[in-house]
Amino acid sequence: DAKTTQPPSMDCAEGRAANLPCNHSTISGNEYVYWYRQIHSQGPQYIIHGLKNNETNEMASLIITEDRKSSTLILPHATLRDTAVYYCPRNKFYFGSGTKLNVKP
């Protein structure tokens, strides 16, 4: 099944790290892991992607397990503006319902 599994919601205190997990146990060897977020009702916004190695950019870090069956998106210092729904779609096509991250003061 070409889907991913994410917790429906998570809370994080402002200024703390937010760690969002994604299970993609059926991912193929050459398939990238992508993360997007959707703030309120806007169009989804790309965050980061990776294949095997961990990746970091100005927005977040991506940790992919060695067997590639799961990944974790890390927002190192969450702010209130990071409150959003976070998706790790499969094959770029299957977005699922994502994780609603609530950053609280």
Partner 1 sequence: NAGVTQTPKFRILKIGQSMTLQCTQDMNHNYMYWYRQDPGMGLKLIYYSVGAGITDKGEVPNGYNVSRSTTEDFPLRLELAAPSQTSVYFCASNPGAYEQYFGPGTRLTVT
Binding-site ranges for partner 1 (CB under 8 A): 34, 36, 41-46, 49, 87, 89, 92-98
Residue number, 63 or 95, with CB nearest to partner 1:
95
Shortest distance in whole angstroms from residue 65 CB to partner 1 = 22
Residue with tokens 């994502």: 98
Residue number, 58 or 66, with CB nearest to partner 1:
58
Shortest distance in whole angstroms from residue 96 CB to partner 1 = 5
Radius of gyration from C-alpha coordinates of the chain: 13
Cα 11 to Cα 1, 30, 38, 90, distances in angstroms: 29, 33, 16, 24
Residue number, 67 or 93, with CB nearest to partner 1:
93
Displacement of CA 4 from its chain's centroid (Å): 11
